[in-house]
């Protein structure tokens, strides 16, 4: 795909996020995480620049309380600045797996990137995760690309397999950045820690995850959605899948897995 090559070089992040999570938004992140811990609901924050003397610095617009598996994201009208990114929590027992972005998450970031004309910086975390996992498009998507993603998102339901467009494109179109949740410093995590956060404490698997396990592509997706190009993440995921230690399957899921993937459990 020659079309993508010009976007493959690493571009600079927003300067406020280059080395750490800016101190101006840390308190709000902790609040969001705490709300989610207490309520089990998603919570989102919008990162905005502001008009006036603090121009360039990043602040948060009002947080939005979401429901159990989705949340909308507020705009920056209150600060009078521009949206530079956003953060949302994934409740520890969400149907979302840990801090792995969903296809809708990736799409939302791409759509905002095109609407605003600046690469948006999106982050996910929760009270059980070691990192704040952030991802940003490598470039501003053209309309065709956005349409392809929208169509692929529409085809990716809970019971559907993940649309091939996501499998072919996400790893090329996004870069991922991690920050330590305690120090807020940018870090290069071990593959094992990435996989631990990617799975989180999720106790449920979606139908499509079972299908991906059946096809042997589950760990490719986990790698593409968390640390593209880092094959050690994929192999760590496969190791845990084989040892059955990565998710506490429910007995119904084990029955299902036995049907589709006998050798895991015999
Ligand atoms: Zn999400």
Q: What DSSP assignment string belongs to 104-164? A: HHHHHHHHHHHHHSS--EEEEE-TT-SEEEEEEESSPPPHHHHHHHHHHHHT--SSSPPPH
Instruction: Tell me if 47 sits within 8 A of 79, measured CB to CB.
Output: no
Residue 2 Cα to ligand 1 middle (Å)? 30
pLDDT of residue 3: 44
Residue 1 Cα to ligand 1 middle (Å)? 28
Give domain status of residue 52, yes or no: yes
What are the structure tokens assigned to 224, written together?
A: 């593409």
Give domain status of residue 189, yes or no: yes
Residue 266 Cα to ligand 1 middle (Å)? 34
- 2: Cβ contacts below 8 Å, ≥ 6 apart: none
Residue 232 Cα to ligand 1 middle (Å)? 24
Q: Taking the CB of residue 44, how many other CB atoms lie within 10 A of it?
A: 23
Of 47, 2, 1, 9, residue with least CA distance to 138: 9
Residue 193 Cα to ligand 1 middle (Å)? 19
Give domain status of residue 129, yes or no: yes
Give domain status of residue 242, yes or no: no
Residue 258 Cα to ligand 1 middle (Å)? 29
Q: Taking the CB of residue 120, how many other CB atoms lie within 10 A of it?
A: 24
pTM, whole model, 2 decimals? 0.85
Residue 265 Cα to ligand 1 middle (Å)? 31
Give domain status of residue 87, yes or no: yes
Residue 262 Cα to ligand 1 middle (Å)? 31
Q: Per-residue pLDDT tens, the chain, 266 aa: give them.
A: 444 444 445 678 899 999 999 999 999 999 999 998 898 888 899 999 888 777 788 988 865 555 555 555 557 877 678 899 999 998 876 556 789 999 999 999 999 999 999 999 999 999 989 999 999 999 999 999 999 999 999 998 767 788 999 999 999 999 999 999 999 999 999 999 999 999 887 666 677 777 787 778 889 999 999 999 999 999 999 888 877 655 555 666 666 665 655 444 43
Of 169, 178, 168, 98, residue with least CA distance to 138: 169
Total domains in the fold of the chain = 1
The per-type count for the chain, helices as H runs and strands as E runs, is 10, 8
Q: CATH code at 16?
A: 3.40.140
Residue 142 Cα to ligand 1 middle (Å)? 23
- 96: Cβ contacts below 8 Å, ≥ 6 apart: 69, 90, 102, 202
What are the structure tokens assigned to 255, written together?
A: 């029955």
Give domain status of residue 265, yes or no: no
HEC secondary structure over 51-99? CCCCCCCCEECCCEECCCCCCCCCCCCCCEEEEEEEEEECCCCCCCCCC
Instruction: Tell me if 125 sits within 8 A of 44, measured CB to CB.
Output: no
Residue 103 Cα to ligand 1 middle (Å)? 8
pLDDT of residue 80: 73
Q: Which domain holds residue 161?
A: 2-201
Give domain status of residue 37, yes or no: yes
Give domain status of residue 266, yes or no: no
Residue 106 Cα to ligand 1 middle (Å)? 9
Residue 264 Cα to ligand 1 middle (Å)? 29
Residue 52 Cα to ligand 1 middle (Å)? 32
Residue 125 Cα to ligand 1 middle (Å)? 9
């Amino acid at each position: 795909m020659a079309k993508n090559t010009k976007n493959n070089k690493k571009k600079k992040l927003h300067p406020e996020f280059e080395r750490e999570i800016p101190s101006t938004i840390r308190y709000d992140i902790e609040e969001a995480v705490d709300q989610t811990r207490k309520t089990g609901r998603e919570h989102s924050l919008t990162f905005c620049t502001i008009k006036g003397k603090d121009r360039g610095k990043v602040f948060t617009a009002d947080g939005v309380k979401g429901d159990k598996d989705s949340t909308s994201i507020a705009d920056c009208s209150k600060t009078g600045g521009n949206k530079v990114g956003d953060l949302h929590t994934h409740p520890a027992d969400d149907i979302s797996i840990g801090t792995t972005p969903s296809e809708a998450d990736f799409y939302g970031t791409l759509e905002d990137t095109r609407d605003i004309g600046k690469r948006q910086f999106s982050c996910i975390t929760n009270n059980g995760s070691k990192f704040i996992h952030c991802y940003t498009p490598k470039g501003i998507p053209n309309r065709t690309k956005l349409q392809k993603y929208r169509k692929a998102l529409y085809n990716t339901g809970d019971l559907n397999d993940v649309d091939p467009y996501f499998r072919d494109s996400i790893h090329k179109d996004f870069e991922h950045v991690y920050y330590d949740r305690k120090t807020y410093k940018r870090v290069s995590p071990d593959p094992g820690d990435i996989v631990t956060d990617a799975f989180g404490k999720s106790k449920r698997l979606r139908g499509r995850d079972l299908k991906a396990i059946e096809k042997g592509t589950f760990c490719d997706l986990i790698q593409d959605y968390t640390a593209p190009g880092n094959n050690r993440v994929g192999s760590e995921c496969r190791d845990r899948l084989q040892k059955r230690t990565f998710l506490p399957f429910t007995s119904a899921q084990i029955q299902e897995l036995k049907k589709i993937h006998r050798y895991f459990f015999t």
